[in-house]
Amino acid sequence: MLEDRSCFVSRDYHRERSWACMSFRLDANGKRPAEDDQEDGRVRKFPKQSDTRGRVDTSLTLGGNSSASEADQAGCDYEADDGMQMTVAQGGGDQHSDGVNSETGAQGGDMVADQAGDQHCDGVNSDTSCLIPGIGRDNSISCLIRCSRSAYGMAASVNRSFRSLIRSGELYKLRRMNGIIEHWVYFSCNMLEWEAFDPNLRRWMRLPTMNSNECFVFSDNESLAVGTELLVFGKEYMAQVIYRYSLLTNSWSTGMQMNEPRCLFGSACQGEIAIVAGGCDLQGKILSSAELYNSETGEWKLLPSLNKARKMCSGVFMDGKFYVIGGIGGPETKLLTSGEEYNLETETWTEIPNMCLPRTGETRENALPTTSEAPPLIAVVNDQFYAADYAEMVVRKYDKDNRVWFTIGRLPERANSMNGWGLAFRACGDKLIVIGGPRASGPGFIEVNSRVSSEGPPEWHLLGRKQSGSFVYNCAVMGC
């Protein structure tokens, strides 16, 4: 979340809403009033802002963009369910640098927050010491990490210090250290187009379009969110490729490679690290290798191999350990019902029998090819292991002590899928979420449903609904 960010707020947006960490509020005319500051025996006035920046009831421009269309070009389009539309470009303006002042990140030079903000720090123009005047840098940061990260676009427009702090990623490290994490859902209904959903504010965000070729579009794709990055794995011509979306710069890049490139693997993240296990290589060979990715360093590290090679498997973290579940493997490429547990401290794998959800129901009786069904739909919430049985449309929970599955309730009624494909079942913080929607001959819908309580049968609450002409191809949850 950086430069080139715009925020369009419609007229029905409440005039009294303000950012809790800032020591000013816009007046009824949408301008920031002059305020007295008696510190050090001096009286200082806040500089007058231009009318186009200060008018909250029509538009609030962050980073210098003054229209929703310009914000769309920046790549992130928020839409609120309550009728309020908010367009926020949460990322670096590097890829939109035409006509942009690289010093301030403003188009046309209309950004004055840098100069104004820097002058409020005891009369010293300092990018390292000036954040919120009067309370000191440490208190400023403590205040900022407790704000919703959806407000960081506004924070980055205050001065260069804020923008540098956000863009460096240090703010997200501090949030993680203090246990302050927000989970957003990232999903794709078109291989090159990704959107995010903020379940707290119930807003949708459109990411920049990936710049790839048709080979990538029609290849097997996997996705993984780790740290402040979204990784999308696929194939271009005769080489496998990883596209990396950075939350800090709001842009896609390529170039990173695993030690052993693969697709159709199981994966999961924990903080700034992620583990991928199994899968298959370009020649279709099923792999038993595994790798650990550190988003802080951008490096891949080979881990000890699995006990069994497997592809089309799923992965989760639970009780501080990584688990890879189910998949296809063995000399006859049969369905696997076992799972494997990886202990990060001892760096060893332990096979666990019957850890995959039992395959019972109509789709299994029809003897479909093993590759026709989706990998296991599993999620871990508060170290409790759940699975979605798309054939029976129920949710099951795993008894870790007795190593058996039992049914706890129904999936959302409109969570349709095709043998599990097109349906996402994920953990989003301390809640289970289901992403999918009804398919029809005309335009369909993508719905985000959240489990209301962790106790008793699942009761589902609709968080968001969006028209879509396709189903969910890939889905990942980013917590930072």
Q: Are the CB atoms for 410 and 389 separated by under 8 Å?
A: no
- Which neighbouring-strand residues pair with 198? 203
Check pLDDT > 50 for residue 38.
no
Instruction: At 56, list the tokens.
Output: 């909250």
| Side-chain half-sphere exposure of 380, counting CA atoms within 13 A | 21
pLDDT of amino acid 441: 52
210 Cα distance to chain centroid: 16
When computed from its CA atoms, the radius of gyration of the chain, rounded to whole angstroms, is 24
Check pLDDT > 90 for residue 129.
no
Check pLDDT > 90 for residue 425.
yes
Check pLDDT > 90 for residue 117.
no
Which range, 106-115, 120-129, 409-418, is most confident?
409-418
pLDDT of amino acid 17: 35
Pick the range with the lowest mean pLDDT from 139-143, 308-312, 323-327, 397-401.
139-143
- Contacts of residue 7, defined as CB under 8 A and 6 or more positions apart, other chains included, come to 59, 60, 61, 62, 71, 86, 87, 88, 153, 154
Q: Are the CB atoms for 249 and 92 separated by under 8 Å?
A: yes
Alpha-carbon distance values, 345 to 224, 322, 383 (Å): 23, 11, 18
Q: Are the CB atoms for 251 and 208 separated by under 8 Å?
A: yes
181-197 pLDDT, tens digit per residue, is 999 999 998 888 999 99
- Contacts of residue 447, defined as CB under 8 A and 6 or more positions apart, other chains included, come to 412, 414, 415, 435, 436, 437, 462, 464, 465, 466
Pick the range with the lowest mean pLDDT from 101-110, 114-123, 442-451.
101-110
Q: Are the CB atoms for 356 and 312 separated by under 8 Å?
A: no
What is the longest distance spanned by two Cα atoms in the chain?
83
User: What percent of the chain stands above pLDDT 70?
Assistant: 69
335 vs 103, which has greater pLDDT? 335
- Contacts of residue 206, defined as CB under 8 A and 6 or more positions apart, other chains included, come to 72, 75, 76, 77, 193, 194, 195
Check pLDDT > 50 for residue 174.
yes
Alpha-carbon distance values, 132 to 116, 198, 206, 309 (Å): 12, 27, 31, 54
pLDDT of amino acid 114: 37
pLDDT of amino acid 366: 52
pTM equals 0.73
The C-alpha atoms of residue 156 and residue 133 are separated, in whole angstroms, by: 15
Alpha-carbon distance values, 145 to 148, 162, 179 (Å): 8, 12, 10
59-98 pLDDT, tens digit per residue, is 222 233 333 333 333 334 444 443 333 333 333 333 333 3
Which of 77, 357, 394 is CA-nearest to residue 208?
77
Which of 36, 75, 70 is CA-nearest to residue 52?
70
pLDDT of amino acid 291: 98
Check pLDDT > 50 for residue 34.
no
232-285 pLDDT, tens digit per residue, is 999 887 788 999 999 998 999 998 899 999 999 999 999 999 999 999 998 889
119 Cα distance to chain centroid: 35
Check pLDDT > 50 for residue 110.
no
pLDDT of amino acid 262: 94
Buried b (16+ CB within 10 A) or exposed e, 319-328: eeebbbbbbb
The helix-helix angle for 136-145 and 160-167 (nearest 10°) equals 50
The C-alpha atoms of residue 153 and residue 19 are separated, in whole angstroms, by: 12
pLDDT of amino acid 361: 46
The average pLDDT across 190-216 equals 89
The C-alpha atoms of residue 11 and residue 59 are separated, in whole angstroms, by: 8
Per the prediction, the chain carries an average pLDDT of 75
The average pLDDT across 317-343 equals 92
Instruction: At 161, list the tokens.
Output: 């210090």
Check pLDDT > 80 for residue 32.
no
pLDDT of amino acid 312: 94
Which range, 40-54, 100-114, 320-334, is most confident?
320-334
433 vs 38, which has greater pLDDT? 433
378-422 pLDDT, tens digit per residue, is 999 999 999 999 889 999 999 999 999 999 999 998 877 787 888
